Chains A and B, each alone.
Chain A
Amino acid sequence: MNNNVKRKNHYIIITLVVFVICLIIGTIIAGIQFMQKKSATSASTTLELSFETVGKGIAPNGNRYDVKEMASDQVLQTALEASSLSDMYTPDQIRSCLVIRGVYPEDIQEQYTSYVSVLPGSTNQEVKLTDYYPSVFSIVLTNDFDASISQANLTMLLDQIVTAYKNYFSKAGAYTLEKGASVFELSDYDYLHQLKLISLKLNNLKAYVGQLYEKYPNFRWNGQGFNDILNRLENVITEDLSRTNAQTTINAISKDIDRLLTVYTYEYTNLNIRYLNKIENLKKADELVSSYEKNVKIYLSTADSIKEVTGNSTVTYDKLVEYQRKIANEMTNINTQIGDYKLKIQDISGKESSTESLITGADTENADALSENYQMEEMESSNNKDDAQTRISAEIIEEDIHAILEKHDAIVSDLDALIQAKNAEQINDVTVSSGKVKYYAPRLLSGSFFKQVVKTAGPFCAIALMICLMVIFISKRKECKQNED
C-alpha cells in the first residue's frame, strides 16, 4: 500500500513540476513578447451628445456638426494653451494621436459589416443601409507624440481637449446675430441710399427671424416670441420706412439734388438705349420663331406596335420661344425701370412731364432727344426750388431715419436676448457631456498581459499535461502487466 501511495505522489509531483516548468517558460515567452510589442500609454474618455437633432447629424442651429472638429487646430490649440503645453507640442502632433470613434449599436454594426451584394440574387434580402449618427463617442489620446509625457499631463490634455470642444460646440452649434464691422458708413450716403441700406438691414433680419419663428413658433421668453419680433420688424418696414421713403422721393429730398438728377437722367437715357436694343433683338427672335417649321409627327403602325417618328424640332422650337419670351420679359423690366426713373425725375422737377405716357416701343427712337430735353428742364427747375423748404424737409427725414435706426437697435437688442435664451435652452451642461478620463498603461499586472500569458503559455501547459498523462498511462500499463505476470 505504501509503495502505491508513494508511486502516486511521485507521479503527481512529476506532473506538477513539468506543468510549472512549462508555465514558467510560457510566461517568460509571453513577457518577452509583451515587452517587445508594448503598446503606447493612453488616456481615454467618452463623449455624449444629447439634443433633439443629434440623430440627424445636425447641430441645434441647423448646421451640420462633426465630432472630428475636436481635432481641429482651433480646439487643439485652445486645449494646449489651457494645459500650458503649447510650448512643447503643436496641434499637428496631437492630431495624429487623437482617435475619435462613434459607438454604434450591434444591429447597425451588423448592417455595415455583413452587407452582401445582391448580385448572386436572393429574394427579400435586406439591402438598405441605415444612416446612423452616433451620439456616444470614445476619445483616446495616445502618447505617440511624446513617449515621456507624464500620466498627469496626458490626462489633463485630453480633459482640456474635451472641454475646449464643449466650448467650441456651444458657439458653433448655437444661433447668432450679425456681428462684425458694417460694410456701409450710413452718413456717407444720400437719404434715399441711406433708406435702402436700412431696408436691407431690416429685410435681412426679417428673413432670419422668419426662419426662427418657423422652427420655434411656440418659443417665448420674457413675454415675447419670434413672431412678436417679426411683427415689429414688419411694422418698421411697412410703416416707418415706407413713409420716410415716400416723403424723400416725392419731395425729392437729397443732400445733392443736382447730383441726383444727373444720376436719374443718366439711368433714364441708358435704359432707353437698352430698350431700343432689346426691341431689335426681339424682332430677330420673332423672325426666327415664325420662320421655323416644326416637323409633322408620324406614327408608323405595324401589326405589333405603333412607333412614333419625331425629331427634336419641338425642343428647338421651344428653345426659340423661350429665347423670345426672355427678351420680352427683359423689355418689360426695363420699361418699368424707365417709368420709375421718369417719375423720380418728375418728382425732382416738381411738375408734369412733357410726355404723357411711359416710353413704349413706338416712341423709343426719340429716347436720346427726350432724355436731353429732360435734363435741361429739370436742371432749370431744380435751381428754382425753395432752398429753405428743402432744408426743413431734410431735417425731418434725418429725424425719421434716426427714429427708424433706434427702433432697429431696440428690436435687435430684444432679438439677441431671445436668441440667447433659446441657445441656453438648447445648449447647456448636458448637451455635450463627457465621462471621467481614464489612464491606461501596459503593465505586467495588467489584464492584457494575463491575456497574453493565457495565449502563449496555455498551449505549452496543455502539451506538458498531455506528456505527463502519457507517461503516467504508460507506467500504469507496465505496472498492470507486471502484476498480471
Chain B
Amino acid sequence: MDNKETRNDDSLTLNKETQINLVVNNQDEDEDSIDLVRVFQRFKEKSRVFVWLLIFCIVAGVSAALLMYQINKKPLTASSVVTLRYYIHGNDGTSVQVKDLTAPDGRTELDLSQITSSYVLQNAMSDVKLSRNIPVSALRDNITIKRIPTESSRKNQELIQSMMDNTSTVSAAYEKAQELEIKYSNQFIVSLTNGFGNQDENAELIYLEDSEIHNLLDHVLEAYNDYLVLTYGGLRLPDNKMSAIDITSMDIMEGLDLLKLAVANLNSFCNVQPAEIRTYRSWQTGLTLQDMARKAALIQEVNVDYLYSYIHMNGITKEPESVKTRYQYELRNAKLELDAVKAQIEKTVDVLANYKNDEILVSMHESDTTKSTRYTTEYYNELVLSQTENYSKVAELELTISNLQEKIDSIQEDVNTEQYAEAYAELEKAIEASTKLYNQISAHIEEILGSPFYRTFAEESVPQGKTESFLTASAKNMLLFGGVGAIAALAIWFFSALAPEFHAANDQSIENGKHQKQGDHDHAGKEEEK
C-alpha cells in the first residue's frame, strides 16, 4: 500500500512539472501566431516573381480560351425565309394568293422535301463555283426546313401545352392533341449549316467559306423555284395552229374550220389565265393579255365568222365532192354518238326510277311515335347530276349535226371561181391577222415567264446569318479564363508569402518537442540517479 501511495506521490510530482511544461508550451503558441509584418515583407519580396506569375497565368488563361474557340468553333448556319406567292383557284372559281402550303395545283400539299431532292441540289451546285467539292448527300444532310404554323394552330398548341402542364387536364390535352390539325402559313425557313460530312465517317468535315454558304443556299432556293415553275407552271401557249393551215393544199372550208378553232383556243387561253396574269402590262409592248383576248374575240367576229358565213351561205369550196364526203362522215359519227348518249340517258332514267334510296326511321325521344323518311344517297345524286351532263352533250351534238347538215346542203356542185378567189384572199388575211396576234401573245407570255412576276413562285429572302469574328466570339471566354488565371496567380502569391509562417511554426514545435523529450530524458536520469 505504501509503495502505491509513493507512486501516487511521484505522479503528482510529475504532474507539477507537466503543468510547468504546459505553461512553456503556451508561451510557444504565442510564437505560432502569424506575423503579418513578416508576411507583408514576403509579399513585397516576391512581388517581382508575382508579376511574372500573373502575366503567365493570364496568358495561359487567354490562350486556353482561344484554343477552346478553335476546337469548339460553331459552324455558320445561313437561313432564308421563303414566302410562297403563287395564285391558286379558290372554291368560287376565282384565283387567290396561296395562304398555306398548298401546291400551285390547288389540290395537294406542297412537297417541301423536294428542296433537298437530287434534281434541285444538283442544279444548284452546277450553277455555283465552290472552293471544295461536296457530295450532294452531304449537302442534303446539312439543310433543314422549318415550317411555320398559322396563328390559330400556334394558339391551339399553346393551349394544349398549358393543359399538359396542369395534371388535372393531361388526359383531355392528349385527346385534344390527337384531334389537332396543325396548319402552316405560306412561309417556311430553309437553313444550311457549314461543315459537310463525307461518305467516309472517319474523314474530316469539309468547311466552305461563309460567303460560299450564303451563295449556295441562294442557289438551292433558286433551283427550287425553277423546279416549282417547271412542275406547276401551266402558262404554256397553245400550239400555233395557224402555221398548220396550208391553204394551198387544203380546201377553204377545212382551212377556215381550223382557223376558227385556233382563234377560239387563243381567246380561251387568254381568258382562263388568273386575273394577275391577264392584267400584267408588258413594259415592251404596253399591252395586257386582256387587251389581246379582246383582239382575238374581234378577229373571231370580223375575220373568221364573217368569212365563215359567206363561205357556208354560198357553199364555196374547191373540191365539193371531197368536202361533202368528209362532212357526211363527220355527220354519221355525230349521229352515232348522239344515239349512244340518248341510250345512256334512257338507261339512267330507268335506273333513277327504280333506284331505292335509304329510308331512315326516326323514333321520337320520350315518345312512342316513329317516323320514316327517304334519304337520297350520294350515288343517286351523282346519277342525277350526270344526267345534266348527258343533256348538255345531246344539245351540243344536235347542234353539230344541224351545222354539218347545213354545210352539206350548202355545198354547190359547180365551183364559183370568182367567189372562191375572193374567199381565199380573205382567208389569207385572216390567217395573217391571227398569226400576228399569236406572235404578240407569244412574246407577251415569254416576257411574263422571264419576269420576276412569274419566275419567282416562291420568294426567298437573301440568306442571313454570320459567324462572329475570332476575337469577338472568344472575348467572353478570354476575360473569364484570364480572370481565373489572375486569381490563381494571386492565390499562389498569397500562399507563397503565408506558407513560411506555417513552416516556421512547425519547425518551432518540432524543436520544442525535441527539447521536451530531452528534458524528460534528463529528468528520468536524475530520478534513477536518486
A235 within 8 A of B: no
A97 and B129 contacting across the interface, CB-CB below 8 Å: yes
Secondary structure class of chain B's binding surface, majority of residues: helix
A313 within 8 A of B: yes
- Smallest CB separation, A340 vs chain B (Å): 13
**Which residues of A, 5-60, contact B by the 8 Å Cβ criterion?**
37, 39, 57
A285 within 8 A of B: yes
Residues of A within 8 A of B312 (CB): 266
A101 and B283 contacting across the interface, CB-CB below 8 Å: no
A469 and B56 contacting across the interface, CB-CB below 8 Å: yes
A459 and B66 contacting across the interface, CB-CB below 8 Å: yes
> 1/0 contact trace for A108-138 toward B, CB 8 Å?
1101110101111111010111011010000
Residues of A within 8 A of B388 (CB): 285, 288, 319-320, 323
B80 within 8 A of A: yes
Residues of A within 8 A of B391 (CB): 281, 284-285, 288
A473 and B59 contacting across the interface, CB-CB below 8 Å: no
> 1/0 contact trace for A292-322 toward B, CB 8 Å?
1101101011100000010111011001100
**Which residues of A, 260-292, contact B by the 8 Å Cβ criterion?**
262-263, 265-267, 270, 273-274, 277-278, 280-281, 284-285, 288, 292
A181 and B436 contacting across the interface, CB-CB below 8 Å: yes
Give A290 to B107 CA distance when docked, in angstroms: 35
B351 within 8 A of A: no
Give A72 to B128 CA distance when docked, in angstroms: 16
Chain B residue at smallest Cβ distance from A142: B129
Residues of B within 8 A of A177 (CB): 286
B375 within 8 A of A: yes
B285 and A309 contacting across the interface, CB-CB below 8 Å: no
B298 and A200 contacting across the interface, CB-CB below 8 Å: yes
- The answer to whether A458 and B66 touch (CB under 8 A), given A102-B462, A180-B440, is yes
Give A127 to B148 CA distance when docked, in angstroms: 8
Q: Interface residue count for B (Cβ, 8 Å)?
A: 101
A288 and B53 contacting across the interface, CB-CB below 8 Å: no
B309 and A316 contacting across the interface, CB-CB below 8 Å: no
A277 and B395 contacting across the interface, CB-CB below 8 Å: yes
Residues of A within 8 A of B462 (CB): 101-102, 104, 134
Residues of B within 8 A of A37 (CB): 131
Complex partner residue of B158 from A118, A178, A180, A280, CB under 8 angstroms? A118
Chain A residue at smallest Cβ distance from B470: A455
A63 within 8 A of B: yes
B52 and A473 contacting across the interface, CB-CB below 8 Å: yes
Residues of B within 8 A of A469 (CB): 52-53, 55-56, 59
Q: Which of B148, B305, B384, B451 has the most CB of A within 10 A?
A: B384
B306 and A263 contacting across the interface, CB-CB below 8 Å: yes
A259 and B63 contacting across the interface, CB-CB below 8 Å: no
A65 within 8 A of B: yes
Query: What residues make up the interface of B, taking CB atoms closer than 8 Å to A?
Result: 49, 52-53, 55-56, 59-60, 62-63, 66-67, 70, 77, 79-81, 83, 127-129, 131, 146, 148-149, 151, 154, 157-158, 160-162, 187, 189, 209, 211, 214-215, 218, 280-287, 290-291, 294-295, 298-299, 301-302, 305-306, 308-310, 312-314, 360, 362, 365, 373-378, 381, 384-385, 387-388, 391-392, 394-395, 398-399, 402-403, 429, 433, 436-437, 440, 450-453, 455-456, 459, 461-462, 464-465, 470
Query: What residues make up the interface of A, taking CB atoms closer than 8 Å to B?
Result: 37, 39, 57, 61-66, 68-69, 72, 96-97, 99, 101-102, 104, 108-109, 111-113, 115, 117-123, 125, 127-129, 131-132, 134, 144, 171-181, 183-185, 188-190, 193, 196-197, 200, 203-204, 207-208, 259, 262-263, 265-267, 270, 273-274, 277-278, 280-281, 284-285, 288, 292-293, 295-296, 298, 300-302, 309, 311-313, 315-316, 319-320, 323, 451, 454-455, 458-459, 462-463, 465-466, 469-470, 472-473, 476-477
New A-B pairs, 8, CB < 8 Å, besides A113-B77, A131-B83, A295-B376: A63-B451, A115-B189, A122-B158, A196-B302, A281-B394, A292-B384, A319-B388, A451-B470
12 intermolecular pairs with C-beta atoms under 8 Å apart: A63-B280, A96-B129, A99-B215, A115-B148, A119-B157, A175-B286, A180-B285, A262-B313, A266-B308, A323-B388, A459-B66, A473-B52
